[in-house]
Amino acid sequence: MVVEPKVRGFICTTAHPEGCKAHVREQIAYVQKKGPIKNGPKKVLVIGASTGYGLASRIAAAFGCGAQTMGVFFERAAEGKRTATAGWYNTSAFEEAAHSQGLYAKSINGDAFSDAIKQQTLELIQRDWKGEVDLVVYSLASPRRTDPRDGKVYSSVLKPIGQTFRNKTVDMNSGVVSEITIEPASPEEIENTVKVMGGEDWAWWIEALLQAGVLAKGVKTVAYSYIGPALTYPVYRNGTIGKAKEDLERTAKGLTKKLQALEGKAFISVNKALVTQASSAIPVVPLYISLLYKVMKEKGTHEGCIEQLYRLFHDFLYASSVLVDEEGRIRIDDWELAEDVQNKVEALWKIVTTENIRQLSDIEGCRADFYQLFGFGLKSVDYTQEVNVEKSIDSISA
């Protein structure tokens, strides 16, 4: 069938198998061109491995470090005329490329928050790897979570705390700049957002791996966070999602203590703002990103997921020493938050309107990045051709 993009809001309901494959191959080619990462991990578990930073982590580990990788995610296969999800196609393409290089790559498809998926993962690690996982990447992004211990479903919200927030935002599809008003979150909404996006599940994963005895001496684990500029603080860092990220950072410190016997350590990597399914849903952030892209591309410092993750592995996690800030966090958002970059973005923010957004921002580049998340807009792909939407992955499903 011929596959075309069908967009609803900030979600594309279709994905292109050959486009996703081309996008994955581009990321692999980038890592291979940059060269091997010395002293990198050899057995890597990526929780949330099928898109964005999680996928880039798996690619950097496999093709930069020669690592065996195991990915956990929740994706859907093709069914009839309905395409699979982009994450499914990404994983299929990744596994095909990894296997062609003789690299172990298997996946577990199901709810990573559940005890059942944790147990299946442990059993696969014990069977195939005999333990010895030396890097655990936690990169889950979900709007809701079912807690396996109380059975409740918790949903996250993207809201300010304490007061109503008003500021500019943009509709990425139409390019219309407008003012948005967001009412403050209730105490329950704050608590639920921390439950979904905080560090509890990351801690449960590490505790399960520890109890099973499958972590190697010197193991590292890393989770991804974002801080951003003062411009987005009310709706991000000082909002509900910011509370969840603070919990994630506290969790890292607690996990480092638990890993001491193995001489292991937990890290938070604060990453750059990028176009993802998650960021597209956050009010104000898409407009900020479109201005940021413009400034950083002109400066020559713009990075996508794979550039960020290669730098994380090469310059930080597996450098001779891990450089962190005063809070113990790795900062690969350093180029984004450079003073000259932020000064320029702030100046543009004050004057950007619907009429001038295409001149002042890189909204077209952001829109292209959004479509590429689902395998559309790749120059090497002929989208007029029919494609087989059924692709296999080497997975164990719940």
- Active-site positions read 236
Ramachandran quadrant class, 70 (left: phi over 0; alpha: psi -120 to 50; beta: rest): beta
Residues in the chain: 398
Contacts 24+ apart (CB under 8 A), 58-61: 58/94, 58/137, 59/24, 59/27, 59/28, 59/31, 59/94, 59/306, 59/309, 60/31, 60/306, 60/309, 60/310, 60/312, 60/313, 61/135, 61/137, 61/313
What CA–CA distance (Å, rounded) separates 300 from 26?
19
What CA–CA distance (Å, rounded) separates 363 from 293?
8
What CA–CA distance (Å, rounded) separates 30 from 67?
17
Question: Which two structure tokens, joined as six digits, stand for 236?
Answer: 């991000």
- Of residues 167, 199, 388, the one with CA closest to residue 282: 167
DSSP H helical ranges for 112-216: 115-124, 187-197, 200-212
At position 102, the amino acid (one-letter code) is: G
- Of residues 79, 27, 70, the one with CA closest to residue 49: 70
With residue 272 as reference, give the H or E element that holds it: none
What CA–CA distance (Å, rounded) separates 288 from 346?
9
Partners of 324 in beta bridges: none
- Tell me how far apart the 2 most distant CA atoms of the chain are, in Å: 60
**Rounded (5°) CA angle 264-266-267:** 135
Question: Which two structure tokens, joined as six digits, stand for 342?
Answer: 């932020």
Q: Are 246 and 268 in contact (CB under 8 A)?
A: no
Which phi and psi (to 5°) does residue 232 adopt? -105, 0
Q: Cβ atoms within 10 A of the Cβ of 291, count? A: 25
Task: Quote the DSSP letter at residue 384.
Answer: T
Question: Which two structure tokens, joined as six digits, stand for 243?
Answer: 């509370």
Task: Quote the DSSP letter at residue 79.
Answer: B
